[in-house]
Amino acid sequence: MTDAAVPTHCPYCALQCGMSLRPTADEPGVEVVERADFPVNRGALCGKGRTAPAVLSSRVRLTEPLVRRSPGGPLEPAGWDEALGAVAAGLARTRAEHGPDAVGVFGGGGLTNEKAYALGKFARVVLGTSQIDYNGRFCMSSAAAAHQRAFGLDRGLPFPLADIPRTGCVILVGSNLAETMPPALRYLTELRENGGTLIVVDPRRTRTAEQADLHLAPRPGTDLALALGVLHLVVAQGRTDEEFVRERTAGWPEARAAAMAHWPEHVERVTGVPVPQLREAVRMFCDAPTGMVLTARGPEQQSKGTDTVGAWINFCLATGRAGRPLSGYGCLTGQGNGQGGREHGQKADQLPGYRKLTDPAAREHVARVWGVDPDGLPGPGRSAYELLDALGGEVRSLLLMGSNPVVSAPRAAHIEGRLRSLDFLAVADVVLSETAALADVVLPVAQWAEETGTTTSVEGRVLLRRRALGPPAGVRSDLQVLHGLAGLLGHEKGFPADPEEVFEELRRASEGGPADYSGITYRRIAAEDGVFWPCPGEGHPGTPRLFLDRFATDDGRARFVPVVHRPAAEETDAEYPVLLTTGRVVSQYQSGAQTRRVDELNAAAPGPFVELHPRLAERLGVSEGDRLAVVSRRGRAVAPARITTAIRADTVFMPFHWPGEGRANNLTNPALDPTSRMPEFKVCAVRVERVGV
């Protein structure tokens, strides 16, 4: 390591903000300094980014392997040979006794492209299992499925973030950027400074909604009805862009007929959003010369998330706000590499380059790169929740990398039980997460600042995280782990530990696929502040803006998909009369496995809470700070009350970052979207009780 600051990127959300790391004499050995030249955040960082080096400290992280040497015994320090040998033996034993599909692999949306690629290859080539998925399934899989149906291609944003302030109107659906991606809030501020307008759809009046020109607060679980209601008004008011629909789309008559069944007064009864607000939203969007709809987890984490996103895409297509400059639909991906993680092989049904596992040509191409028989590649496996639910039954051993489902999965207490019932569990992580604490073997792995690798941001921009310092002596990279395990399981070649060597193979595997990285190199990324995929050759400039000439369908036309509103999987009743919705707070991230180890972040957000409206609090006899039990059909969570008028009176909100008695995902419903297999995190029926009364 030199004294010069190393340019890199934040390890947390999908903005992948630019930062630099400067060496220091004190542990952990680096500090964050501003990197003003990176175009996405222009130097700005949230508290998580500023404090990211704190998790590099040996005080909070794993620094040596741990092995449970007897059933029910403690995790004890071990050498790498013993630990890797135990993992290889455990996976091999299950495969020999129960078949390859009895071995599962579960990955994470924070893994680099190289790790995601190697993990998918390891599962299918070394283990021969179809049972691989990742926690990114819980992120934007509904939007991905809707993208594929409508546009023929899935990329979170089909345009750069820099286009947002230059459009005329943005409808932001179910996203609280001020808490989840704070540096991106400036794009909405600049939008309004430029004369544009902002509409926010959220059942809570969040810090982001406070910036809006119009805030629509629908009842949780009714986003689909809302989208269909505004599309109905577009048609009824003659606001359809008939020329665009005729020349660049297909399927409009059927989608229009479906939308016309959702008249405004009906939509008001379903959503609670007054008709005048629906009309005002249509006026603001259609009067603007250009417009964008951006969705996030709110509408997507529902059992009808794919159709909900599809309805918003239909709205964009009907108004001519897609496939044109400064207009379009986009999804704000949450996890740091949620986009790249699914493009290159962690997802149950996909091969590298976003190829379909069921496509014979795709199997042939990837198998040729891997040097294996395409007929030997397994088919699609279970989706994330279905895989976790099968643990201890048909899936008897699990290798888990970079995820903490004990906190992050729906119906979390049940999933914790499934993990405990496994014959064998191995976890590779940087900290002893709640999930790692259940493992038979824990492998301590390197972090973002200690290794080089690529990620793909919310914009589809492929970026290079650079190594700024070495990991502790007892720590290895995930690629080294896979290299070692592959060798022990009979595959001495094909799993290099060098990330650039892995990326070069990834380029070949993705070539010709929908997510074509073949023209992207480490050198190009470093020189160009990232390269937008698809980039099908080293002479290709990359593709910052998709669909301007044609959509990625066979005939180049976008597809309207007819959808109709249906209720949430679980409605309120006399026993469970209140709706629960979940989300994040600015000072914690996802399951909190890393951020809960940072003193500054814990001081700002020390624990869970239950947010409720004063009218509901009065009805329950609740005061600020009272301990509340929130109870669903699946479990119970306890946290202090936070009373605010910023939430609907029929709804309570809980953040999901904490384990223990305040674990919000004890409550959430694993009902799955039939297309994306996304669980319904965002709405379930609960009752709220004062504790000790």
Q: Enumerate residue ranges in the chain where pLDDT < 70.
A: 1-2, 693
- 8 A C-beta contact, residue 81 and residue 58: no
Identify the CA nearest to 444 among candidates 427, 461, 459, 458: 427
What pLDDT does residue 356 have?
95
What pLDDT does residue 693 have?
63
Collapsing DSSP to helix, strand or coil, 198 comes out as strand
In total, the chain counts a number of residues equal to 693
What pLDDT does residue 333 have?
81
What pLDDT does residue 540 have?
97
Rounded Cα–Cα distance for residues 367 and 596 (Å): 42
Collapsing DSSP to helix, strand or coil, 328 comes out as strand
**How do 578-583 and 669-672 pair as beta strands?**
unpaired
Distance from chain centroid for Cα 659: 20
Interior/surface letters 11-41, b for 16+ CB within 10 angstroms, e for the rest: bbbbbbbbbbbeeeeeebbbebebbeebebb
Q: How many CB atoms lie within 10 A of CB 686?
A: 27
Collapsing DSSP to helix, strand or coil, 556 comes out as coil
Identify the CA nearest to 335 among candidates 412, 404, 419, 434: 404
- 8 A C-beta contact, residue 110 and residue 335: yes
Assigned token pair, 291: 């417009």
- 8 A C-beta contact, residue 545 and residue 655: no
What pLDDT does residue 1 have?
44
- 8 A C-beta contact, residue 168 and residue 192: no
Identify the CA nearest to 336 among candidates 656, 39, 40, 668: 40
pLDDT, one tens digit per residue, over 279-297 is 999 999 999 999 999 999 9
Assigned token pair, 48: 């998580």
Q: How many CB atoms lie within 10 A of CB 148?
A: 20
Please classify residue 166 by burial: count the beta carbons closer than 10 Å to its beta carbon, then call 0-12 exposed, 13-18 middle and 19+ buried: middle
- 8 A C-beta contact, residue 158 and residue 332: no
What pLDDT does residue 79 have?
98
Identify the CA nearest to 34 among candidates 52, 50, 14: 50
Distance from chain centroid for Cα 486: 28
Rounded Cα–Cα distance for residues 690 and 596 (Å): 27
Distance from chain centroid for Cα 429: 18
Identify the H or E element spanning 502. helix 499-510
- 8 A C-beta contact, residue 41 and residue 15: yes
